[in-house]
Amino acid sequence: MIAGGVNAREDQFQIVHARLKRHRWYPKILKAQDPLLLSMGWRRFQTQPIFATEDPNGRVRYLKYTPQHMHCVAAFYAPVAPTNTGFIAIPVRDQRSPNFRISCTGYTLGNDNATNIVKKLKLTGTPHKIMKTTVFVKGMFNSDIEASKFVGAKLKSVSGIRGIVKAALKGKDGLVRATFEDKLLPSDIVFCRAWKTVQPPKYCSMQRNLVDADWVGMRSMRELRWEHNVPLATKHDSEYHEIKRRQRGDENYESANADKHAGKDTAKVLLSRNQKLQLPFDMKEEFIPLERTTALQQRIAGAVTVAPEPRDMRRTALLDAFTDKADAMLKKKEEAKKRARLQRQRESAIEEEEYLRQLKKAKKETARLREFRSQHKSRK
């Protein structure tokens, strides 16, 4: 007979932080908030752990599933345990099964009343009023108090334009004023990326199957769906839909020629003029007009020669003279700017050289005085 006990302070319940790894013989991965039986110290209890990983920047990011061959951080509601206390976890329903396996193993890191595990939170909104780069965003927050807490938060639109929340408007149910780098469109969607703290469920049930044979622990959602034959909930928006392309052509034209083209695709196809000329005689149109395209108009305009009038020639010569004079003045200004820039560079180089010379001279004088003082002290 082996008798044991726990300390008085270990009767308290807190959030236990642990480091665990999925057992290599367990065929599945573990899902967050699924019930597990933990054997830790003198206790065996059922709890719902959540998993996380620590990023290089120090953020503890929430994970929905455990990694394949890596350790991860876990947090669960359980009795207080000393640091570095080892534990093992087993599934709830597979204890009497021939496929029984240990789910994971790990050790505790500490106890606390809360966790620092966070997960991504993306808030979306739409422009309510646009005035150049200032935009009033609606639909992102539900109240004025909630909006005031996000003053200074960074925003980003679907087109990649960055912005910042400047102020929350009172009495407008979460309407905020934001400033962006460029002007937004009314169809743009504005995002605000944030992080939300995740706490594990406060559920901890001591296992009593060795005392009470009828004891049944909490079951996972997968087991409940399987027992009650409930299908997995799916969203209609997340399903793939068949792409039905719109047929080109007039619907009235297609219905009128349905008997003539029975069993064939009656969609009207756009053909070029050359293709229409190559069609059989019974399919050709009565009159195919010559389309005046831009390229054709340019060819016609280039083929037509217009003799200039003396008045037009004098006006063109005068405009060319004005243009040449303006170009000459602009070139002269550029050359003057270039000469002034070179002069400033030479003057700054001379000043820099004089400054370095004076600095070197001052350093020599300082060193000489320091040596003189040290010799004077040694003589005393």
Q: Distance (Å, rounded) from C-alpha 157 to C-alpha 164?
A: 11
Q: Distance (Å, rounded) from C-alpha 365 to C-alpha 357?
A: 12
Residue that finishes a domain, picked among 166, 196, 226: 196
Q: Distance (Å, rounded) from C-alpha 69 to C-alpha 89?
A: 17
The mean per-residue pLDDT over the stretch 195-208 comes to: 90
What single DSSP character describes residue 83?
T
Q: Are residues 15 and 92 in the same domain?
A: yes
Q: Cite the DSSP H helix spans in the chain.
A: 144-148, 221-228, 251-256, 273-277, 294-303, 310-379
Is residue 371 a part of any domain in this protein?
no
The rounded mean pLDDT for the chain is: 85
pLDDT of the residue at 290: 61
Q: pLDDT of 255-275, one tens digit each? A: 444 444 454 445 567 788 788
Greater confidence (286 vs 14) lies with 14
Q: Residue 147's CB: how many other CB atoms inside 10 A? A: 24
Residue that finishes a domain, picked among 196, 228, 257: 196
Is residue 24 a part of any domain in this protein?
yes
Is residue 283 a part of any domain in this protein?
no
Q: Distance (Å, rounded) from C-alpha 138 to C-alpha 125?
A: 6
Asked if residues 192 and 140 have their Cβ atoms less than 8 Å apart, the reply is: yes
Tell me the CA distances in angstroms from 225 to 32, 48, 221, 222, 231, one per residue in order: 17, 18, 6, 5, 7
User: CA triplet 54, 60, 63: central angle to 5 degrees?
Assistant: 85
Is residue 88 a part of any domain in this protein?
yes
Is residue 373 a part of any domain in this protein?
no
Q: Are residues 79 and 147 in the same domain?
A: no
181: Cβ contacts below 8 Å, ≥ 6 apart: 133, 161, 162, 163
Tokens 């991504």 identify what position? 120
Q: Are residues 165 and 145 in the same domain?
A: yes
Per the structure, how many domains does the chain have? 3
Q: Are residues 12 and 111 in the same domain?
A: yes
CATH of the domain at 93: 2.40.30.10
Q: Are residues 23 and 108 in the same domain?
A: yes
Is residue 99 a part of any domain in this protein?
yes
Q: Are residues 86 and 155 in the same domain?
A: no
Q: Are residues 109 and 138 in the same domain?
A: no
CATH of the domain at 176: 2.40.10.190
Residue that finishes a domain, picked among 74, 91, 115: 115
Asked if residues 143 and 58 have their Cβ atoms less than 8 Å apart, the reply is: no
pLDDT of the residue at 246: 59
pLDDT of the residue at 131: 92
Q: Distance (Å, rounded) from C-alpha 215 to C-alpha 184?
A: 61
pLDDT at 354 over 80: yes
Q: Are residues 111 and 130 in the same domain?
A: no
* pLDDT band, very low/low/confident/very high, at 63 (cuts 50, 70, 90): very high
Q: Are residues 70 and 52 in the same domain?
A: yes
> Which residue segment(s) compose the domain that 338 sits in?
328-358
Q: Distance (Å, rounded) from C-alpha 284 to C-alpha 275?
A: 10
Q: Distance (Å, rounded) from C-alpha 131 to C-alpha 129?
A: 7
pLDDT at 314 over 80: yes
pLDDT of the residue at 151: 92
Q: How far is CA 179 from the centre of its chain?
A: 20
Is residue 229 a part of any domain in this protein?
no
Q: pLDDT of 90-104, one tens digit each? A: 887 655 667 788 999
Is residue 191 a part of any domain in this protein?
yes
Q: Are residues 129 and 166 in the same domain?
A: yes
* pLDDT band, very low/low/confident/very high, at 250 (cuts 50, 70, 90): very low
Q: Are residues 24 and 106 in the same domain?
A: yes
pLDDT of the residue at 328: 93
Q: Are residues 63 and 145 in the same domain?
A: no
